């Protein structure tokens, strides 16, 4: 059975009901599961695909809440470990009027950073599976080695590897360390998702076309370039380029739109039983259809608040995409 495995951080986001209030003045927060790779696993499962999340949580109530949320959404949690050595990570967030987010993280270290190489040794990756990772847990900690071990095991089994850097600078000691970790892991990936906000930071090139070309290093076959309300483009290593506009919606919260987008893409690839080799032969028409689906799925997410709660099912998505 084709499965989408995601590895990395899950944490609790504390989100205020009110927007436009500085973090220091927020009085009440709502707790929701966060962490990009965890959100992606939920998106795949909500669409009806098979997904498993690989991480470590603190043996605490917040860790329990995350496991409950994953299980309620049919994500396999066989590789979600628990530790007494650190707590589940927390992030307090405020939403400024201009849409900017202000964060305060409790992550020194958080349990996800303690995932070890041994923990991931028995993940049964095959050439029918997809392995997806992000950059937050490429920080200097045991979890970075766990990523490398699992990615290398995946490459040995011809597993399709997907990387969404999903840059979160406040979690890094310096911008350079974040950028270097992303560049170090980039060549492993067959599929690289990158947003317009991240392209110049990662490549150091301000011409978008040239910047995208510079990303075709190592295994990279597809660069999936997302442009918020302007939709998305897939550029292939052999220079095919397919673009699809986004859906016109009244966006109320774009948190997690990127996670929804890549979740939808990985769901489609796993549904269509794509492998590293078939990825090279996929037609432009098929790529356009996939992009439309991902844009629709992500747009629908922006019309609802929250990350996980905003993710829709396959039925809802198809209805939305075919609306007149």
- DSSP classification of residue 98: T
* C-alpha distance from residue 187 to each of 155, 182, 222, 259 (Å): 12, 9, 12, 21
Distance CA 149, CA 51 (A): 20
Residues 186-205 within binding reach of ligand ATP (CB under 6 A) = 195, 197
> Quick check: 295 binds ligand ATP (CB under 6 A)?
yes
Size of the site for ligand ATP (CB under 6 A): 23
Cα-Cα-Cα-Cα dihedral sign, residues 223, 134, 218, 204? positive
Q: Say if residues 91 and 11 touch (Cβ distance below 8 Å).
A: yes
Q: How far is the CB of 30 from ligand ATP (least distance, A)?
A: 18
Looking at the Cβ atoms of 100 and 108, the one nearer to ligand ATP is 100
Draw the binding track, 128-167, toward ligand ATP (x: CB under 6 A; -: no contact): --------------------------------------x-
> Quick check: 243 binds ligand ATP (CB under 6 A)?
no
Q: How far is the CB of 13 from ligand ATP (least distance, A)?
A: 12
Backbone φ and ψ of 195, nearest 5°: -100, 160
| Measured CA angle at 201 (ends 195, 204), to 5 deg | 120
Six-digit token string for 92: 């307090």
Looking at the Cβ atoms of 41 and 123, the one nearer to ligand ATP is 41
> Quick check: 314 binds ligand ATP (CB under 6 A)?
no
> Quick check: 247 binds ligand ATP (CB under 6 A)?
yes
- Report the residue from 49, 58, 258, 263 that binds ligand ATP according to the rule CB under 6 A: 258
> Quick check: 35 binds ligand ATP (CB under 6 A)?
no
110 closest CA partner among 69, 139, 134: 139
- Report the residue from 259, 267, 270, 274 that binds ligand ATP according to the rule CB under 6 A: 259
Six-digit token string for 293: 């689906």
- Report the residue from 148, 228, 286, 289 that binds ligand ATP according to the rule CB under 6 A: 228
* C-alpha distance from residue 320 to each of 301, 312, 316 (Å): 11, 10, 6
- Report the residue from 77, 226, 270, 274 that binds ligand ATP according to the rule CB under 6 A: 226
* C-alpha distance from residue 305 to each of 143, 248, 321 (Å): 30, 17, 20
Contact residues: ligand ATP, CB under 6 A = 166, 195, 197, 226-229, 231-232, 246-247, 249, 251, 254, 256-259, 261, 295, 298-299, 302
């Amino acid at each position: 059975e084709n499965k989408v495995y995601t590895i990395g951080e899950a944490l609790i986001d504390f989100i205020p009901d009110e927007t436009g209030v500085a973090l220091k003045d927020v009085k009440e927060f709502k707790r929701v599961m966060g962490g990009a790779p965890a959100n992606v696993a939920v998106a795949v499962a909500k669409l009806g695909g098979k997904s498993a999340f690989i991480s470590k949580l603190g043996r605490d109530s917040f860790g329990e809440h995350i496991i409950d949320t994953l299980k309620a959404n049919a994500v396999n949690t066989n590789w979600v470990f628990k530790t007494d050595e650190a707590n589940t990570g927390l992030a307090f967030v405020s939403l400024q009027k201009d849409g900017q987010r202000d964060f305060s993280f409790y992550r020194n270290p958080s349990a996800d950073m303690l995932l070890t190489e041994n923990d991931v040794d028995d993940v049964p990756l095959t050439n029918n599976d997809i392995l997806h990772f992000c950059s937050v847990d490429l920080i200097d900690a045991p979890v970075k080695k766990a990523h490398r071990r699992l990615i290398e095991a995946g490459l040995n089994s011809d597993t399709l590897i997907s990387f969404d850097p999903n840059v979160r600078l406040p979690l890094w000691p310096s911008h350079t360390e974040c950028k270097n970790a992303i560049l170090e892991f980039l060549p492993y990936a067959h599929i690289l998702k990158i947003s317009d906000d991240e392209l110049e930071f990662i490549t150091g090139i301000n011409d978008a076309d040239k910047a995208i070309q510079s990303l075709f290093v190592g295994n990279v076959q597809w660069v999936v370039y997302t442009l918020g309300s302007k939709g998305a483009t897939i550029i292939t290593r052999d220079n095919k380029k397919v673009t699809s506009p986004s859906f016109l919606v009244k966006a109320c919260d774009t948190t997690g739109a990127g996670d929804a987008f890549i979740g939808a893409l990985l769901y489609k690839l796993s549904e269509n039983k794509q492998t590293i080799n078939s990825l090279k032969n996929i037609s432009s028409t098929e790529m356009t259809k996939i992009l439309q689906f991902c844009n629709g799925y992500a747009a629908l997410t922006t019309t609802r608040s929250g990350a996980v709660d905003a993710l829709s099912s396959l039925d809802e998505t198809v209805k939305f995409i075919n609306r007149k």
